[in-house]
Structures are given as C-alpha cells and as structure tokens.
A and B are shown apart, each in its own frame.
Chain A
C-alpha cells in the first residue's frame, strides 16, 4: 500500500499497559484472558492511538489510567486499583462506570471499550476462530460480478475517460 499511514508511534508505558490489559480482559471475550493474544491486541491499539490526533490519544491513555486507579474510589474495591481486583468486583466497577454517573464519563468508557473490542476482533486469530474470513467471499463475489456484468462494468470504466457533451 502506498501513501501515508500514520504520523507517529505510540508506545504504552509499562504501567499504562497493565491498566489497558486489565481493562481489555474485562471488556473482551474470555478467550483473551489466556494471554496469548494480548501482545498483538496492544500492538493494534497502539497503532490506532497513533492515528488519532495527539490530544485525543493522550486523553484516551490518561482515561485508561484513570479507570484503573479510579477503582480505588469505588466502594467495593476497598482501595485497590482495577488491575488488582478480582473478576466480579472488577466487572461491577466497569458496569458502574459505563452505566451510571455523568454522561461524559459513560461516553469515554464506551469509546475505550469500542477501541479495545475493535482491536480484539480485528486480530487474525480472532477472525479465524469466528470463521470470519471475508477475503475469499469477496473474491468470489468479484469474480461472479465480472462474469455476469463484465460488459457493463467495462463500459462504465471506459465512460469515465471518454469525451462527453458539455451541458
């Protein structure tokens, strides 16, 4: 592929990475928890953060840390951060964050979840596990399209470059 890809690199620090990994374990399917897919997921997330405006990616990184350490204020967490909470308490905390409280906070948590979950489902291993392999399907559709409508398609391509009457 040619052209620009992304303007910069984002590398999560060790402590932020811990925060993100715990968050990802909670919002992604349990298959993520065995740890094999986590490095690839983090790598995808870093790429995606790098493509965002610096202010937005910095805010999201801060939000991951805030969600992790903000658990200390959650009554059921008893002063522990999210990364140190057991599953039921951690789930309860995330549910509370995304379901209650100020709208801005709920929106930010939803955005974080969307970003992480999208990165998870884009992993080749996840796709293979789900049987989502669209490339072969698309190639087949494209072939059938050309077989059925090839003449019209070629005519449309030619018309793009052809002289035409000016209105």
Chain B
C-alpha cells in the first residue's frame, strides 16, 4: 500500500520494545488516542503541557494497511469487531483499538456536535463554555486540522448517487456529506484503515502533532485503573500487552490530571469509587469521558439497489439525508 505516514518516532513507545516496568511523571495523562484523546493531547502539547497518552491498541502506520478484512478486524478493532451495546435492541458497535482509535476505522463522516447536545452538556453535565457560539471557533479549528470538506465528485460512488436520487424522489432534502479527508481517492476501504492517508484520522493528524510537541505515547498498553489519593486522581496503573497477547511489564503514570476520553463504553471500570461518584466525575483532578468535539460515526458497508452498475469496491458512500 502507499501513502505517507507522518508519524515521528520520538515519543512513541510500543509494547514489544518494553523490557521492564516503567514509571513516568507528567502533567496530564490521557487514556486513548482517538478523536477525543489525540485532540486533547495535541492541544495540551501545543500549550507546553507535559502529556502522556496511553493506547491499548498497537501502532499501525498507513503503510501497513491491507485490504484483508479479517486482519483489520484482528489488529485495528476492539474484540475483533464483535462489540455490542446490550439493550433493547442490542446494537453492534465497532470500536477502534489502535493508535488513532476509531478514527482509523470509521468512514470519516465529520459533523459538528448539534446545538441540542451542547445545550444538554451545559444543562445536565454542568460543562461551561460549550454554547454553540462559543464552540464555533473550536469547531473551525478542528475542521481545519483534520481537513473537513466535501468529497471530490469523482470519488462518490454510484450507490450514493442512487441513494440521493431515491431520496429526492421521496421528496427528502439531501446534503453532501462532510468528511475529514484530503482528496479522498475513493478506494472504499475506510474501515480497514485508509491506505492512502487521505482520510485524516488521528493517526495522521493529532497524534503526530502531539508527539512532535513532546508528548509521549505508550501503545499496546492497557489501563487497569486510575489511582487516587483520597478523592484526587493521581495517575493510572497499566500494563503492556505482548505481541502474542500475554501480559507484559507494568506502566505506572503519576499525573496532576487524568483524562479518559477513551471510547463511550470502556473507561468506567477503571475509575475507583462509587458509580454515582464516577457518573459525576467526582474525583478531583480528573476529567471523565470528555466527549470528542465531533460526532462519532461508525461506517457500514455500501449497499446496492436499483439499476445501473454499482461496484461497491469503487468509490465511497457520501450522501446523507438532510435534517
């Protein structure tokens, strides 16, 4: 496969290279390197803060991506892609588990957090400064960084065109999909890791940015728990994962602030204390589940219908129904 992999090596530590227990001190430890974690780490590193990122998955640069679905599921996805949210009904959830997190394996749909969600955060979570007006400049900055734009027309697939046609005949308004990409070539293998780096995942944007500004990233490293002194979070305890899956040496991080944006489902079990405390982010010096500033998005295989030649292996799906 081709494509640049602008990942500076300094600051990246992979599990297979670690021979003994590691102890590090830093200002902020960030659990996860996906949309939330990498963005936070890059912003903090930009401001001169000493940041440590911890990522459970491995570092798989752009050049390593193949079109082998099974291999991608085993290396880039949590639980081999067999994750699910149990409820009524249960929903299959594909989560990334690699440097760059789910941004490496999603389709790159990139939409601003809706005002109603921002308002709910402000109202129910007491998050300050997240009015739509206040967030405008932050959204613009993120969009610039990850190159959010409309797809080049030539790379939009026939399936999407038919979908739009059908929607229009139904009287629905359609709008172009916004994606974090630079001249996406339309390979339609986004969910296996973009082989051209056209998709601007965290792997090729905020992770290298954070590393270039002195952040450290421990990959193949699973956080076991957040440590604390009294009600104050003081760091994390983690362990490296060997290439064969065995448990490796321990990583202990002491930090002034612990941030765990890592995925919507996983971090809570790492947090000490009662569930009600965790739900309120009750530990001082801790930031709980900071949501990524853009909507998460899972990708699905393209579908085909109607007439005309549709080649699902050619071009990406890129239309969405207007609100």
Whether A157 is near chain B, meaning CB under 8 Å from some CB there, is: yes
Question: Among A44, A138, A157, which residue has its beta carbon within 8 angstroms of that of B70?
Answer: A44
Chain A residue, CB-CB nearest to B145: A160
B residues in contact with A56, CB < 8 Å: 79, 82
Interface string of A138-167 (1 = CB under 8 A from B): 110111110011001100110111001011
Contact across chains for B2 and A139 when beta carbons are under 8 A apart: yes
A residues in contact with B1, CB < 8 Å: 135, 138-139, 142
A residues in contact with B243, CB < 8 Å: 3-5
Whether A48 is near chain B, meaning CB under 8 Å from some CB there, is: yes
B residues in contact with A7, CB < 8 Å: 241, 245
Interface residues of B in 231-261 (CB under 8 A from A): 241, 243, 245
Contact across chains for B182 and A156 when beta carbons are under 8 A apart: yes
- A51-B80 in contact given A4-B241, A145-B198 (Cβ < 8 Å): yes
Question: Among A2, A8, A161, which residue has its beta carbon within 8 angstroms of that of B245?
Answer: A8
Contact across chains for B79 and A135 when beta carbons are under 8 A apart: no
Chain A residue, CB-CB nearest to B139: A167
Whether A62 is near chain B, meaning CB under 8 Å from some CB there, is: no
Chain A min CB distance to B156 (Å): 14
Chain B min CB distance to A155 (Å): 9
Question: Among B15, B70, B196, B206, which residue has its beta carbon within 8 angstroms of that of A118?
Answer: B70
A residues in contact with B15, CB < 8 Å: 3-4
The answer for the CA separation of A53 and B196 in the assembled complex, in Å, is 31
Interface size class on chain B is 35 or more
Interface string of B210-247 (1 = CB under 8 A from A): 00100000011000000000000000000001010100
Chain B min CB distance to A104 (Å): 10
Whether B105 is near chain A, meaning CB under 8 Å from some CB there, is: no
Contact across chains for B58 and A2 when beta carbons are under 8 A apart: yes
Contact across chains for A138 and B58 when beta carbons are under 8 A apart: no
Whether B195 is near chain A, meaning CB under 8 Å from some CB there, is: yes
B residues in contact with A138, CB < 8 Å: 1-2, 67, 185, 187, 189, 195-196
Whether B143 is near chain A, meaning CB under 8 Å from some CB there, is: no
Most buried by A among B145, B187, B219: B187
Contact across chains for A51 and B73 when beta carbons are under 8 A apart: yes
A residues in contact with B206, CB < 8 Å: 160
Whether B59 is near chain A, meaning CB under 8 Å from some CB there, is: yes
A residues in contact with B198, CB < 8 Å: 145, 153
Chain A min CB distance to B242 (Å): 8
The answer for the CA separation of A6 and B47 in the assembled complex, in Å, is 37
- A135-B67 in contact given A48-B73, A141-B185 (Cβ < 8 Å): yes
Whether A12 is near chain B, meaning CB under 8 Å from some CB there, is: no
Contact across chains for B196 and A3 when beta carbons are under 8 A apart: no
The answer for the CA separation of A135 and B186 in the assembled complex, in Å, is 13
Interface residues of A in 98-123 (CB under 8 A from B): 118-119, 122
Chain B residue, CB-CB nearest to A122: B70
The answer for the CA separation of A153 and B194 in the assembled complex, in Å, is 15
The answer for the CA separation of A143 and B187 in the assembled complex, in Å, is 12
Whether A1 is near chain B, meaning CB under 8 Å from some CB there, is: yes
A residues in contact with B74, CB < 8 Å: 5-6, 47-48, 50-51
Chain A min CB distance to B97 (Å): 8
A residues in contact with B212, CB < 8 Å: 161
Contact across chains for A3 and B182 when beta carbons are under 8 A apart: no
Contact across chains for A3 and B79 when beta carbons are under 8 A apart: no
B residues in contact with A164, CB < 8 Å: 141, 144-145
Interface residues of A in 75-131 (CB under 8 A from B): 118-119, 122
Most buried by B among A47, A119, A144: A47
Chain B min CB distance to A9 (Å): 9
Given contacts A2-B61, A4-B220, A138-B67, 14 further A-B contacts (CB under 8 A): A2-B14, A2-B16, A4-B241, A51-B74, A51-B77, A52-B82, A122-B69, A135-B1, A135-B67, A141-B196, A149-B182, A152-B183, A160-B209, A161-B212
B-to-A contact residues, CB < 8 Å: 1-4, 6, 14-16, 46-47, 57-61, 64, 66-70, 73-75, 77, 79-82, 98-99, 137-138, 140-141, 144-145, 147, 182-183, 185-187, 189, 195-196, 198, 200, 204-206, 208-209, 212, 219-220, 241, 243, 245, 313-314
